[in-house]
Structure 1
Amino acid sequence: MECYFDNSASTRVLDSVKDIVVKTMTEDYGNAAAKHRKGMEAEQYIREARRIIAGTLKAAEKEILFTSGGSESNNMALIGTALANQRAGRHIISTAVEHPSVYNPLTYLEELGFEITFLPVDHNGHISLQQLEEAIRPDTILVSVMYVNNEVGAVEPIEEISRIIKAKNPSVIFHVDAIQAYGKYVIRPKKQGIDLLSVSGHKIHGPKGVGFLYIRSGVKIKPLIYGGGQQNNLRSGTENVPGAAGLGVAAKEMYTDHEEKIRRLTELKDYMIDRLGEIEGTLVNSKMGTESAPQIVSVSFEGVRSEVLLHALEDKEIYVSSGSACSSHHPGISGTLKGIGLAQKYLDATIRISFGIFNTKEEIDYCIDTLKELLPVLRRYQRG
């Protein structure tokens, strides 16, 4: 039985997504900037995708900017906003557990002379709202906080964070990395006080290589890519019609019968956590129910290196992650696991199991049975 439990890294595309991507590659393949009929047909796909996505956020269509994915969205949100607003100040606040596509642009801005404050998190992965309030200064121009942590599934209180930011300094721009949250939560940027929101298509059963950045009307931001002036001069380059069309379909599918989809994901997560309790020497780092994201289970196994376990499971056609797949080619201990205060013996013994809409309880049972079979052998081998 093949069990794909790495949906926070990437998901299998929906059939409806595949169909529209193929159609826009083989039939309606024009350049959306062209003035002839083929170009106008292509442009219509872009417009429809933007309309769908804006609808899921109750946002204006002009506030949706298509990108190549989550990393570009985060880079543009941070670097573009910092450069556009640096006359107002050069202080930025973020957290110690951000994804590399947030952390690394911030370190780049630090090299340019910006001052970055990284807030610590508690054992549940949450920042201190008091520390946030104390960190905001008159020269603070940007705060960036991830909605859902990609490793342990911790959910930050985004609306409360925004209230604190705006009460202390109304001119501060609030960016949210929602790459693990979009499709799993009903997100209303205007109601929640979000100015910038990053999303990636391949986390929601859409195509790879496409995402979007929500930019609230009035937010000053500089483009990172210059050229032909596409997307209102904010992101030049020939528009990715198949990607945008596929992302639009995926967004529509995820928010159709949304409550039922999330109830089922939560049920799978809770079932997995319950069954992991049957295995000795196991520590689950994610909360049950609605206390954490519905799709992520972080679990540590005493006495077994995560990479060894990952490949042992792979041999049984069970696919998990030993951390964030976006940085898996750069080995090292996770900053998130350190940040939540995980004991030393678990830091290199943690895997992430993440669910998508195609997973079943039968797959979980197979995974648990396989773990019960593998762990005693691997533990004896590693002790030896």
Structure 2
Amino acid sequence: MKHIYLDHAAAAPIDPRVVSAMAQASKEYGNPSAFNNAGRRAKKLLETGRKAVSDFLHARPDEIIFTSSGSEANNLALAGYLKGKKGRVITTPIEHPSVLECLRALPGIKVDFLSVDKDGLINLKELEKKLGLDVLLVSIMYANNEIGTIEPIAKTGRIIKKFSKNIVFHVDACQAVGFLDMNVQNLNTDLVTFNGSKISGPRGIGVLYVHRGLALQPLVRGGGQERGLRAGTENLPAIVGLAKAIQFIKSSEAKKLSALRDYAINKIQKEILDALLVGPTGDDRLPNNINICIPHLTSETILLELDKYGISAGSGSACTSHSVEPSHVLKAIGVPATHINGALRFSLGRSTTKSNIDYLVKTLETVIFNLVKRHR
């Protein structure tokens, strides 16, 4: 049976060249903090990886902090800056749980939500009205992990900095890497987070960009690693793997996937009339994201049936896949109650082909027909 993987937004298959680089790095057993030859070799690899990431972001090497994941990087960015402070934070109701739950857990912080439209887009006029002297930080996701909405980050940054250079701007860019501009100078950001697993890199590695001069408190204490912001011996193979994965990002990939995405959406809307497309179309949507909702069926039931045909897909955020609650993103954009439990996310990748899409739509049509028939 063929296997078609359409869950790249959860984690992309690791590039064999990345695996090879990681295997080579694993031979360097020294601790980068040690004062011996083995430690110095490891330190050189560590800093080479840091330089590769900083070059990718158009940042300085000392502005790059390695973490274990995008979620940890978000927590370090937000709690690291806001802990002990009192004031207001502006964000959206469709952020990743690692942002929303972190903010809710911080005493003294009032969370002020921007509204989003039916496609998940923020209103910049509303942002301008909400900005005030009590605002400590604004956190906006670059591209939504469930519905693929791309927010106007550069414009948002300009508005914030025009109002006050003292307001910190955090951007969760985990889904944007590989598709969108990651030049932090263009984005007008102070804190940017991303990880390796979305770009055919290793799991267990995240990045936090911290604008030089911005002071954070560590969440993990007990060592001086990562500028004193994250104690613990660095995960050298994962850092080397991340740096290698960044080398293989190609702008042409976004164009190819955009065409496949639009082909898939058009075919689904033509063949599966009950399917509701969720999120924007065209340039406001991630090139690899398709999110649809099927009425009166559950995501889990459909996904289990698709698995039998060799199709791996998702229902939204992999970080909330065990939750029995409907997606907070879909609720925020007003998806009807008849459809909200039947959300399906198909996220494309380097290996996705047109024939894969044809097989998906044909299979999905069969699965939905059989499930509806079974539940009558």
Task: Give the TM-score, by structure 2 length.
Answer: 0.97
Q: 1:96 is matched with which residue: 90, 93, 97?
A: 93
Q: How far 1:288 moved relative to its partner?
A: 3.6
Q: Is the 8 A contact 2:118 2:279 kept in 1?
A: no
* Identity across the alignment (%): 36
Cα-Cα RMSD: 1.3
Give 3-state SS (helix, strand or coil) of 1:344's partner: coil
User: Residues of 2 paired with 1:355 and 1:36: CA distance?
Assistant: 45
Does the 8 Å CA contact 2:87/2:136 hold for their aligned counterparts? yes
Q: Report if the CA contact (8 A) 1:8-1:354 is conserved.
A: yes
What is the SS of the residue equivalent to 1:267?
A: helix
The answer to whether 1:184 aligns with 2:179 is: yes
| CA distance in 2 between partners of 1:183 and 1:47 (Å) | 22
Counterpart in 2 of 1:76?
76
How far, CA to CA, are the matches of 1:302 and 1:105 in structure 2? Answer: 33
Q: Residue 176 of structure 1: CA displacement?
A: 0.1
- 1:316 aligned to 2:317? no
Q: What is aligned with 2:143? A: 148
Give the Cα–Cα distance (whole angstroms) in 1 for the partners of residues 3 and 260 of structure 2: 17
Q: Deviations over 1:141-162 (max 9, x none)?
A: 1100000011100011001111
Give the letter aligned to residue 336 of structure 1. V
Distance 1:331 1:324 in 2: 13
C-alpha contact 1:53 1:252 (8 A) present in aligned 2: no
Query: Quick check: 1:3–1:317 contact (8 Å CA) kept in 2?
Result: yes
Q: Tell whether the 8 Å contact from 1:286 to 1:296 is kept in structure 2 after alignment.
A: no
* Separation of aligned partners in 2, 1:114 and 1:132: 18
1:275 aligns with 2:267: yes
Superposed displacement of residue 280, structure 1? 2.0
Aligned-partner Cα distance in 1 for 2:62–2:322: 37
Q: Distance in 1 between matches of 2:311 and 2:120?
A: 27
* d(CA) in 1 for partners of 2:24, 2:335: 48
State the shift of 1:350 in Å.
Answer: 1.0
1:286 is aligned to 279
Decide whether the 8 Å contact of 2:31 with 2:38 is kept in 1: yes
2: CA distance, partners of 1:322 / 1:190: 34
Q: 1-side partners of 2:155 and 2:328: how far apart?
A: 24
Could you say what secondary structure the match of 1:232 adopts? helix
1:10 match: 11
Q: Contact conserved, 1:269 with 1:288, CA < 8 A, in 2?
A: no
2:258 and 2:57 map into 1 onto residues whose CA distance is 22
SS at match of 1:237: coil
* Structure 1 gap ranges (5+): none
Distance in 2 (CA, whole Å) between partners of 1:161 and 1:351 is 30
- The one-letter code sitting in structure 1 at the alignment partner of 2:285 is S
Q: What pairs up with 1:73-222 in 2 under 5 angstroms?
A: 73-83=73-83, 86=85, 89-109=86-106, 112-222=107-217
Tell me how far 1:83 sits from its aligned partner. 2.2
Inter-partner Cα distance in structure 1 for 2:280 and 2:272: 17
Is 1:19 matched with 2:20?
yes
Matching residue of 1:266: 258
1:268 partner amino acid: L
Partner AA of 1:9 in structure 2: A
Q: Deviations over 1:101-137 (max 9, x none)?
A: 001001101xx12111122210110111122112112
Q: Which moved more, 1:28-37 or 1:236-245?
A: 28-37
The residue number in structure 2 matching 1:55 is 55
Of residues 366-375 and 171-180 in structure 1, the stretch that sits farther from structure 2 once superposed is 366-375
Q: CA deviation at 1:29?
A: 2.3
Alpha-carbon distance in structure 2 between the residues aligned to 1:295 and 1:354:
5
- TM-score normalised according to structure 1 size: 0.95
User: How far, CA to CA, are the matches of 1:274 and 1:75 in structure 2?
Assistant: 38
Q: How many residues align?
A: 374
Whole-Å Cα distance in 1 between the matches of residues 169 and 373 of structure 2?
A: 49
Q: 1:229-244 maps to which residues of 2 (within 5 A)?
A: 229-244=224-239
Tell me if the contact between 1:78 and 1:105 (Cα under 8 Å) persists in the aligned partners.
yes
Structure 2 gap segments, 5+ residues each: none
Are residues 352 and 107 of structure 1, via their aligned partners in 2, closer, same or farther at CA, if it must alter by over 3 Å? same
Partner of 1:307: 300
Kept in 2, the 8 Å contact 1:70–1:198? The answer is yes
Q: CA separation in 2, counterparts of 1:266 and 1:42?
A: 40
Residue 47 of structure 1 deviates from its aligned partner by 1.2
Deviation at 1:327, TM superposition (A): 1.1
Deviation (angstroms), 1:219: 1.1
Q: Is 2:151–2:284's contact at 8 Å kept on the other side of the alignment?
A: no
Distance in 2, matches of 1:178 and 1:52, equals 17
Kept in 2: contact 1:273–1:288 (CA 8 A)? no
The one-letter code of the counterpart of 2:356 is: E
Q: Given residue 21 of structure 1, which amino acid in structure 2 is its aligned partner?
A: M
